[in-house]
Homo-oligomer: A and B are copies of this chain.
Amino acid sequence: MNKDNTVKYVNIDWKPDKSLKVPLYSQIVRYFSRKIESGDWVSGQFIPPQRKLAELFEVNRSTIWEAMQELAALGLTEGNYGKGTMIVNDAWEMLIAGSTLNWQSYIDKGNFRANVDYIRQINQLEYEEDIVRLGTGELSPKLAPRDALAQILTEAMDVELELNYPPPLGLPRLQQALCRYLEDEKGIKVKPSNILITSGALQALQLISVCIVPPNSVAFIESPSYIKSLNVFQSAGTVLESIPMDENGMMPWIISKRFDVGRAILYTIPTLQNPTGNVMSTERRDEILRYCRANRIPIIEDDVMGDLWFDERPPKPIKALDDYGSVIYIGSCSKAFSPGMRIGWVVGPESVIQRLADIKMQQDYGTSTLSQQVFARCLETGVYEEHLMKVRPALKRRRDLTLRILEKHFSDIAQWNEPAGSYYIWLRLNGSPSIRRIFEAALAEKILVNPGEMYDIRENYSLRISYVYEDEDVLERALIRLAEIIRETRG
């Protein structure tokens, strides 16, 4: 593991052919310049150290040295940046001069740098072999509803498969199934015309940020909040403002009065808040709704974790209390059922839903009808509910195990909550240790944790621990090792 995580090495997928008459160094030069010319490799990427290349290509270091001299002479690379040899010229940079990556501008702003770095790094690392995912936002594949879905798929043959483009709001069958689910499970009474099917809750948030939130707005969010780890609101130019929580949830009276009416929204995860696991009280839900109505602030209510309570059914969503269409409500099957289905939903006033659907039509012509049909059937047949009955006790056992380990190994170094459901424990470390150093040290041992700063605007010394991905024995070993690493890092 390379300590400096800003260096991005190119991916070597070739070896020189020793049976050819072409000199080895020349083959290497040809391979490198080909990769650069074709645009596969671009400026700013680094070539692995010569020692590493010699190993990969199974050649002498002198051969590598010769090849590197040649590449530099060709103007394709430059060395001595303190980080190795960097590519400085490429086909696409020339073709699309002026083109910039959306998130690049955020990286350049500096403020977001660490955050975005962490996120990109974690996204990549999660797919590495042997990595222990101790911070991740998805269920273990072992807890996936595999058998139930296989069964559904066989049965799906009995009905007509929908294989054409879906209507703008989604398949009516799924909308209807969601109407019943929302009424029975959440106390939210709406019509199909109030529901838009999206490709997951992230797309719902992205659509809302593009066509509901005005430019130069402020978004009041919980501190900490999952939304900070996404670029959706920030990339639409919205400023996030953290509002602290007490044991009943976000405290609306702390919201500054200095915002422009019509240029503010409130984003909240009242039930099983991510990352803290907090559950907002009924009174507070009512209070926030009244405050926002009085101050004309639309509420974005994120309920993707809502079905993953362990012992006690949480209070009804704010949307269930909303008589005046001030709340846009977001749900998804990703957290409790299967993220691979890519099924989410937005519930709101018809006019808002139609706007969101218009934009979605311009972006991707709708969500997979296969996924929509299968999930509709899961709701209709009770397969979804049955899966919840299985997954809730499984997650609860993992939470209890985690709390026992924390009690035994973390009592002197951290504080934490006891979440009433969902995936995470928000681990607040004592003192002010370097989270970056803990992250790197854990990574060196193949343990991936999510640093607290991903979720908070303010400096914090926390980690988001996820107990839902790894097997229980792996989880236990990794947590114990993590405690040691934290102690070692504090020195």
Q: Which of A18-26, A54-62, A178-186, A349-357 contacts B (4 or more CB under 8 A)?
A: A349-357
Output the least CB separation between A47 and chain B (Å): 15
Output the least CB separation between A125 and chain B (Å): 12
Is B154's CB under 8 angstroms from A359's CB? Answer: no
Give the residue among A154, A191, A348, A370 with the most B Cβ atoms within 10 A: A370
Q: Which residues of B contact A244 (CB under 8 A)?
A: none
Is B349's CB under 8 angstroms from A368's CB? Answer: no
Q: Is chain A's binding surface mostly helix, strand, loop or mixed?
A: loop
Within 8 A of B (CB), among A201-242: 202-203, 206, 210-215, 230-232, 235
Please name the residue on chain B nearest to A356 by beta carbon: B101
Is B91's CB under 8 angstroms from A199's CB? Answer: no
Please name the residue on chain B nearest to A42 by beta carbon: B351
Q: Which residues of B contact A79 (CB under 8 A)?
A: none
Q: Which residues of B contact A37 (CB under 8 A)?
A: 324-325
A350–B38 CA distance with the chains assembled, in angstroms: 9
Q: Which residues of B contact A153 (CB under 8 A)?
A: 153-154, 156-157
Please name the residue on chain B nearest to A87 by beta carbon: B351
Interface: A145 (CB within 8 A): yes
- Contact mask A82-106 → B, CB, 8 Å, 1/0? 0000000011101111111111000
Interface: A369 (CB within 8 A): yes
Within 8 A of B (CB), among A258-316: 261-263, 296-298
Please name the residue on chain B nearest to A371 by beta carbon: B368
Is B213's CB under 8 angstroms from A362's CB? Answer: no
Is A324's CB under 8 angstroms from B91's CB? Answer: yes
Output the least CB separation between A100 and chain B (Å): 8
Output the least CB separation between A78 and chain B (Å): 18
Give the residue among A39, A231, A261 with the most B Cβ atoms within 10 A: A39
> With contacts A193-B11, A339-B165 known, is A91 near B350, CB below 8 A?
no
Q: Which residues of B contact A13 (CB under 8 A)?
A: 191, 193
Q: Which residues of B contact A323 (CB under 8 A)?
A: 38
A123–B169 CA distance with the chains assembled, in angstroms: 12
Q: Which residues of B contact A334 (CB under 8 A)?
A: 165
A94–B292 CA distance with the chains assembled, in angstroms: 13
A41–B353 CA distance with the chains assembled, in angstroms: 11
Interface: A433 (CB within 8 A): no
Interface: A367 (CB within 8 A): yes
Is B203's CB under 8 angstroms from A359's CB? Answer: no
Q: Can you sample 16 A-B contacts with CB below 8 Å?
A: A40-B349, A91-B324, A95-B297, A97-B214, A97-B261, A98-B215, A101-B211, A144-B163, A164-B338, A165-B339, A199-B199, A199-B367, A202-B363, A206-B363, A206-B364, A231-B362
